[in-house]
Structure 1
Amino acid sequence: MVLRTSRPGRIVFAGGGTGGTVGPGIAVAERLAEIEPSIEIIFLCSDRSVDRRLLDPGGWDHRTTPARSPGVRPGAAIRFLRGWHGTRRIARTVLDPADGCRVVALGGFVAPPVVREAIHRRVPVDLLNLDAVAGRANRWIARRATRRFTAVPSDLSNVGDAIGVPLRRAALPDGPASEHREALGLRPDLPTLLVTGASQGAASIDRMMIELVARHETWFAGWQILHLAGPSMLDELIRGYSEAGVPAVVRPFLERMGDAWGAADLAITRGGASSIAEVAASRTPAIVIPYPWHEDQHQAKNAAVLAKAGAVLVRTDPVRGPAATPPLESSLAALLQSGERRARMFEAFGPVPVDAATEFARTLVEG
């Protein structure tokens, strides 16, 4: 179904459950508020805490939905169906074509029931695909959306050229490294290794770092570590760094990721689309450790362009088996010890990426 588009009076962002879906929506919403303040902005998100941690600081109007991922087991299937119908009921309260409403679908399990309700109510839908390998939700939405956009080169058809990943203002460095380090309680004069598992943390990376500093504490001489971890690993990480004598600041989720990237000389990170875009925007040499259990390995594909340029290294998570450990450890040791190698990676980033959030916001305003 092709719906007529026009200048919107309300934009409803549908997505949630990870920072990688909510964050780009906030980035676009920030620019919309600057370009056309009269447009009403509403987020339909999940009931996971990560969504509130991102949305609350900016005061964004949002509705929590009961949406759930689909599953084949009876209990999961029942929860999915209940969540689907409950999310449609909530969407119904904010989707009114008479208000010049349109939906921006960000992917993930929240978006499909919102899209279904939007189509039922003849509200236009724009899909913003955020991964190189589109997930099931985005493939479903793409067949029904009024317009389709992709942030990165993707396997989706009929989406046009990649527009770039929208990044929140808070995810971008905005000052010298010393200021960002001081803001995080780090020493302003020490080179800094950032370790991050993105918005939900990464237990396998956390455990890898505990083992590394215990066995190879000399590698980290002259360095300090900023480690962003899941809540369950905080105490163990603090204890591990302390026992190894490695200066470290360990924190949970950080809303102002721009401080983390601005502080870093080197990073270890997952390969979600937003994480890779933040690496590129901050020009931070990085070792990318893709999430190990995605069948399509889309996080490795997200990092492929930067890896080919020489700006990042992609290494397998050690949780996949002992063969993954030596290549990862040797890469990290070499980068910690060689400023020349890090400088070459920095130069490999090329031009500063365009402000995708602003460009996409303008597209939405134009209708």
Structure 2
Amino acid sequence: MKELRMIVAGGGTGGHFFCGVAFAEAFLERYPQSKVVFVGVRQGIEARTHLSDPRMSIRFVQARGVLGKSVFDKVFALFTILGGFFQALGILWSVRPRLVLGVGGYASVPVILAAWMTRPLMRWNIRVIDQNSVPGLANRLFARLGIPAYSGFASPGFREIDLPVRRALRRPQEGARDFVWPPKNILVMGGSQGAKALNQAWIRLLPDLRNFDPDIQVFHQTGAHSLENCRSAYENFQIRAECFVFSDKMADYYQAADLIIARAGALSVFEIMEHQRPCIFVPFPFATHQHQLRNAEAVQSSDWILLETDLKWSKLERLFNSDRPKLPKRRQGVGLQWESVIQA
């Protein structure tokens, strides 16, 4: 098979970049003799992530965000993006991709613009994918330019698809564990942005949690700044717990959990649905356009969605004692499979 090349443009945050990784893995599974080039920014998470597959590589362009910035910063960002545009032209010329996939964030802007402006000459396919229920500014712009646009949730101007899950996080095809209820093992995930506030709210519940079941076990992704505080809290209340900042065994934790308490970033939502676990979503209250709340509302019953201020034992106890725990799922199926996004 002839070698195909795909550029994945975007990043900055894990939600954008790791969505791109999932699509890249799927592309290479379909076209194993091919290569994927990520294009991001040096200040983003993509610059700190090791790509273990030798068929994947990464390059960088200049770009800055404009949302919430001063007038001066917005002007400076536009000039930065202009510089990134010319860098992107050079990358496109050297890689000669069959497909350019934008995964959102300001890091995608110079690459997708460069690809769009040169498409009549170079004939490459361009598509953009947004993870959230409220697409970002960059992807809304690209959709208006006529670029095929896809989203993990229903949104005007975007075709709705399921998001792929990274290979390391997929549910085992054989030997998958069923959850038990009431829960014996709880997985708590605060996300990259909102871990501290969720951790503080959760720690206040530990005395009641121990009274509910002294043998309960917690797996807790704490974030970098709360690791020791959380460990101390579990030790003080004599609750068995594994606390960690990051783990490459998240699929094992998903499988071990009987209940998940998590933010509602798009990738987390689809990973939890992949593993078919009951989940209490606690949306990050400062997410742009409240997209985490909307993500959760798209897949979960309202009584299993709690705001941070509502994360109290009285509400948790009622859910723990419910006869029918709620697994997040779509209200209805989607008509388009995500595999069509990577069709070269």
TM-score, L = length of structure 2: 0.84
Q: Which residue of 2 aligns with 1:207?
A: 200
- What is the Cα-based RMSD across aligned positions, in Å? 3.2
Q: 1:262 to 1:223 in 2, by over 3 A?
A: same
Cα pair distance change 1:54/1:330, threshold 3 Å:
farther
1:62 aligned onto 2:58: yes
Q: Is the 8 A contact 1:9 1:99 kept in 2?
A: no
User: Which residue in 2 is equivalent to 1:84?
Assistant: 81
Question: Which residue does 1:183 correspond to in 2?
Answer: none
Q: 1:43 to 1:279 in 2, by over 3 A?
A: same
CA contact (8 A) 2:260 2:278 kept: yes
Aligned-partner Cα distance in 1 for 2:80–2:208: 47
**CA offset at residue 227 of structure 1?**
0.6
CA distance in 2, matches of 1:256, 1:200: 21
Report whether the alignment pairs 1:127 with 2:124: no
Paired residues in the alignment total 332
Partner of 1:299: 292
**In structure 1, which of residues 171, 174, 185 is the aligned counterpart of residue 169 of structure 2?**
171
Q: 1:45 aligns with which of 36, 40, 45?
A: 40
Hey, what's the Cα distance between the residues in 1 that align with 2:28 and 2:104? Answer: 22
Residue 238 of structure 1 pairs with residue 239 of structure 2: no
Residues 250 and 72 of structure 1, relative CA distance in 2, 3 Å threshold: same
**2:185 aligned with 1:192, yes or no?**
yes
Seen in structure 2, the aligned counterparts of structure 1 residues 207 and 57 have a Cα distance that, compared at 3 Å, is farther
Structure 1 residue 48, shift from structure 2 partner: 4.5
Q: Is the Cα contact below 8 Å between 1:152 and 1:165 reproduced in 2? A: no
Q: What one-letter code is carried by the residue in structure 1 that aligns with 2:246?
A: F
After superposition, residues 73-152 of structure 1 pair within 5 angstroms as: 73=70, 76-77=73-74, 80-81=77-78, 83-96=80-93, 99-122=96-119, 123-152=124-153
8 Å CA contact 1:177–1:264 kept in 2: the answer is: no
| Separation (CA, whole Å) in 2 of partners of 1:295 and 1:212 | 28
Gaps of 5+ in 2: 178-182
How many Å apart are 1:196 and its aligned residue? 0.5
> Following the alignment from structure 1 to structure 2, what is the Cα–Cα distance between the partners of residues 300 and 120?
36
Q: After the TM superposition, which segments of 4 or more aligned residues of structure 1 sit over 4 Å from their partners?
A: 52-55, 175-178, 348-354
Offset of residue 144 of structure 1: 2.1
Contact 2:143 2:149 in 1 (8 A): yes
Report the Cα offset of residue 57 of structure 1: 3.8
* Runs of 5+ unmatched residues, structure 1: 1-6, 179-189, 319-323
Report how far residue 54 of structure 1 moved. Answer: 4.9
2:161 aligned partner, one-letter code: I
Q: 2: CA distance between counterparts of 1:72 and 1:16?
A: 19
d(CA) in 1 for partners of 2:227, 2:57: 31
The Cα of 1:192 is off from its aligned counterpart by: 1.2
Q: What CA distance in whole angstroms lies between the structure 2 residues aligned with 1:82 and 1:229?
A: 38
TM-score, reference length from structure 1? 0.79
Distance 1:130 1:295 in 2: 13
Indicate if the aligned counterparts of 2:129 and 2:149 stay in contact, CA closer than 8 A. yes
Quote the sequence identity (%). Answer: 26
Pick closer, same or farther for the CA change 1:63–1:99 going to 2, 3 Å: closer
> CA offset at residue 65 of structure 1?
3.7
- 1:184 maps to none
